[in-house]
Amino acid sequence: MDLVIRDARVIDGTGGASYRADVGVHEGRITTIHREGEETGPRPTGQTNLDAQGLALAPGFIDMHAHSDLALLRDPDHSAKAAQGVTLEVIGQDGLSYAPVDDRTLAQVRQAITGWNGDGSDIDFTWRTVGGYLDALDTAHGGHGIAVNAAYLIPQGTVRMYALGWDDRPATPAELDRMKQLVAEGMREGAVGMSSGLTYTPGMYADDSELTELCKVVAAHQGYYCPHHRSYGAGALQAYEEMVNLTRTAHCPLHLAHATMNFGVNKGKAPDLLSLLDDALAGGADITLDTYPYTPGCTTLVAMLPSWASEGGPDAILARLEDEDTAEKIRHHMEVIGADGCHGVPIEWDTIEISGVSDPGLASCVGKTIAQSAAQRGEEPWVTARRLLINDNLGSTILQHVGHEENVRAIMQHPVHTGGSDGILQGFKPHPRAYGTFPQYLGRYARELGVLSLEETVAHLTSRPAARLRLPDRGVVREGYRADLVLFDPDTVAAGSTFEAPRTLPVGVPHVLIDGRFVMRDGRRTDVLAGRAVRRTP
């Protein structure tokens, strides 16, 4: 065999009890599992033997909510994910990404999500279709591929942008047909489903009937729908129920993106959400969800604006911010009424921390809340926020400190839960979840707090997401399965990243393999690029 991993504590991803075994790998597949004490012949031998004494061997982790759409093309190292043991990321999230597009749409979406992925000035955008983007991943970095595997969700907001622009109105029959055509083409080209960002423009302008018709197309191609739904604050339960009902009407599997209950109005209300999901599951609904193991959220500052202020796209937003009367109307909507961009809750500027800016000249704002920066300048918070939006060309990212620990813990224990980092890699001070989500689950929530057993935690991060993605040979340590594997020390694994030092790599994850090739060895990133686009299984 190419490799034998000896004396590992195998946590196989099923949630069952761990066991000690030698695991043999050949030509990218797990070929032999020789359990300790089995009378099945001699122990396997390999060209390379790795002593795994004291280490746990698990399937590679699947990040069900990632924002590495350009990072995978930009950075062959990509240690932010590889060092965590992530072997597959699901990108194209929150309804906004870079395929399918035409020239106009590409320029607009690049500006709209600069805060997530940078402006893309360092990327050669040779593609316009989903298939073209997946091919670009496969042939990145001189044809060698990418650091980890990636699956793609068709972004509904981008599709709407392509078909009818940034108008806040119902789609015409012809425009709806065009959107359905774009979704069908993307699914045929290998996407695993469709995402939405229903607090982001222009995707939020779609009504339920429009979304239902698109979900029917997704379901016909055996995909799933992954919405960032209409509210995580005021009206959160109603927003969850809307998605459940919509997808049941469309007969489409549902995966709830970064599912949580945030803001003061939802403190302690995770049981209400879980009861809603349990009732739907008992009635036959096909539902999964993902979460990150932290309380603050992360998005862009412009996302906080009311949707009417974003109609027409980035240039129109900036024009409204420049106009004194319109800017005052925006402020009143955000601070008094509660903008839909801020989930229907009046914004609290002391919870909005700037985590990144596009203009390095604005770096002094990073790490401070809007309220702190305003106090230093002796002005009202909206004045500071407005100036930053304009001067940074809408490119600022934020941490939003609105979560509740008891909700985070309750939701991660649910049987349909999976792990997702929602990791934005841009900015001077990104959310530490981008570098720490999976070790945080293993170290803090499994070992230290005992919220889940280690075996169950691994199942949440491996076999459950693999089942949602309909991957028949990933997510479990089993003979014949792909050798996407991670070895970690259960006693020391931990997130190194913190809010103060968010780009710190984890500890206790010495080895990571993709297709049987070491992408991390002895805690160091190798030069191996074993990642490829993982296309939908027909």
**Three-state SS sequence of 94-131:** CCCCCCCCCHHHHHHHHHHCHHHHCCCCCCCCCCCCHH
Q: Which helix (H) or strand (E) holds 151?
A: strand 149-155
Calculate the alpha carbon distances from 101 to 123, 155, 174, 189, 462 in Å. 15, 10, 18, 14, 32
Beta bridge partners of 299: 398
Q: Which amino acid is at 133?
A: Y
Encoding tokens for residue 435?
Answer: 């570098």
pLDDT (tens digit, 9 = 90+) per residue, 437-461?
Answer: 999 999 999 999 999 999 999 999 9
pLDDT of residue 43: 86
Cα–Cα distance for residue pair 453/285, rounded to 1 Å: 27
pTM: 0.95
pLDDT of residue 42: 83
pLDDT (tens digit, 9 = 90+) per residue, 230-263?
Answer: 999 999 999 999 999 999 999 999 999 999 999 9
pLDDT of residue 41: 76
Residue owning tokens 């055509």: 181
Q: Which helix (H) or strand (E) holds 491?
A: none
pLDDT of residue 38: 78
CB under 8 A, 24+ apart: contacts of 113-116: 113/300, 114/358, 114/393, 114/394, 114/395, 115/299, 115/300, 115/301, 115/302, 115/356, 115/358, 115/394, 115/395, 115/396, 115/397, 115/424, 115/426, 115/427, 116/67, 116/69, 116/300, 116/397, 116/424, 116/426
Cα–Cα distance for residue pair 365/355, rounded to 1 Å: 8
Cα–Cα distance for residue pair 319/309, rounded to 1 Å: 10
Calculate the alpha carbon distances from 290 to 285, 322, 388, 529 in Å. 17, 38, 32, 27
pLDDT of residue 233: 92
pLDDT of residue 446: 98
Q: Which amino acid is at 96?
A: L
Low-confidence ranges of the chain (pLDDT < 70): none
Q: Which amino acid is at 216?
A: K
